[in-house]
Amino acid sequence: MSLDVLLTGAYGRVGTAIIDNLVGTEEYSFTLLDRTDHESHDTFQADVADLEAIRPAFENQDAVYHLAGYPETDGTYQEVLENNIIGTYNALEAAREGEVETFVFASTNHVVGMYEVENAPEIYYPDFGLLVDHTSTRRPDSYYGTSKSFGEDLGRYYVENFDYPKQFYALRIASVRHSEYDHPYGDAEHGVDRGDWERGSEQYETMVARMKAMWQSRRDHAHMVEQCIKDDDVEFDVFYGVSDNDRRWFDIDHAREVIDYEPRDNGEEWDSPPE
């Protein structure tokens, strides 16, 4: 018997990692919600800022992975208010009304982003000596990071004060990229393709160093989400979405212990971009 799962913001770079790895498997039946249609998938077309529009999509779902929102640190207060704060409230309220048991929330490393801001670029290199875990003080680096911190708190409020959702998983995602750039050289190569810098330049090498710490492969991210959906024990918890990178400064032992997260990838195993 498959689980019914709603995926909001389905066609973004993280949502497509779920589509590529989990949609179409026997274990899950996905409903894909997005503001835009897609030629290859049936889409529940709606904006999470509109509660009435999204409410029907939450009916008869076992779980939701809530990705929809403004995804960048350059977001203004108004952008994150509509898409992230109101949108997350609407998603939680629709889950409550639809009696959805499991709510997986796409949070962000930018909830603790000031640790990177204060220590970059030294933090990108091995043996820096900082480890940020689920107990570390939240230090948002932007309106975007602040909006995701709010979403985590709102999720905790819902699971502790309402019958549904019963479980809330906050995933502080590090760096998940589109398929073309799904490797630790991805951001550096993307910059070359845009004309921002040349391959081998100081900027290029700094981006490689950062991604070797921050990268979460698409398959590792899908695996983490699946472990949350399958879990029956957590009421509320926070996990860092990052692969098993040697130089990462985010903890994954907590995810290993609680949801049996077993990432397959490590940025250090790459010494050049794919051909």
> Residue 69 — left, alpha, or beta (φ > 0 → left; ψ -120 to 50 → alpha)?
left
Tell me the catalytic residues. Answer: 144
Alpha carbons 55 and 59: distance in angstroms, whole number = 7
Q: What angle do CA 266, 271, 273 make, to 5 degrees?
A: 95
**Which tens digits make up the pLDDT trace of 109-144?**
999 999 999 999 999 999 999 999 999 999 999 999
| pLDDT of res. 236 | 98
Identify how many contiguous H helices and E strands the chain contains and give both numbers: 10, 7
The shares of helix, strand and coil residues in the chain, as percent rounded to the nearest 5, are 45, 15, 40
Q: What percent of the chain has pLDDT over 90?
A: 97
Q: Residue 182 pLDDT > 90, yes or no? A: yes
Residue ranges in the chain assigned as alpha helix (H): 15-21, 51-54, 77-80, 87-98, 114-119, 143-161, 186-194, 202-214, 218-230, 253-259
Cα torsion 201, 206, 208, 214 to 10°: value is: -160
- Long-range (24+ apart) CB contacts under 8 A made by 187-195 are 187/211, 188/273, 189/273
| pLDDT of res. 164 | 98
- The kind and range of the H/E element at 245 are none
Q: Confirm if 248 and 242 have CB atoms less than 8 A apart.
A: yes
- Enumerate the domain spans of the chain: 3-268
Q: Residue 1 pLDDT > 80, yes or no? A: no
| pLDDT of res. 250 | 98
CATH number for domain 3-268, candidates 1.10.10.10, 3.40.50.720, 3.40.630.30, 1.20.58.2050: 3.40.50.720
